Structure 1
Amino acid sequence: MGMAIPLYLDAVSVLPVIESLIGKGVPMGTAIAFMMGAIGLSLPEALLLKKVMKNRLLIVFFVTIGLGMILSGYFFNLVLS
């Protein structure tokens, strides 16, 4: 997920990346967490949100969303294995 944060991808452009990762053997939960990280926690999004959110709220947002993505990735890996 951390690798996906600096990328600026939308929901359509991330699909070929996810498809190639799964083809290389990356577990499905890890690929899903990568996809959510690239879309939900991108650096450009943080810069845009910083204009409308205070720093503390932005940090809480990123931590909450990040933990949710990590937990969902582990959950999908657990269920699908």
Structure 2
Amino acid sequence: MAKSKKFVARSTFLICPAELTLHLFSHTNHNQNKKAHKNGIKKPKSNRTRSLKGVDAKFRRNARFALAGSQKARLEQKAAAS
């Protein structure tokens, strides 16, 4: 009796084992780790405060004035305490 090719069911298609191996090895992770570590994997830079990019302009303007006012009030408190 002659040997017959075994076929592997893959979704709705029948794939020959030779085609299956080609399918499996069409992508490789070779050299990706070396490339990633070439300049080092760095943590994302954390800033003191979150960016207000994309925030309503009126809100940003008011926040700036409020910050200046609270700094002024702190200086006055410090001057009164000493």
TM normalised by structure 1 equals 0.37
Q: Which has the higher contact order (CA 8 A, sep 6+)?
A: 1
TM normalised by structure 2 equals 0.36
Q: Which has the higher strand share?
A: 2
Q: Which has the higher helix share?
A: 1
Larger Rg: 2
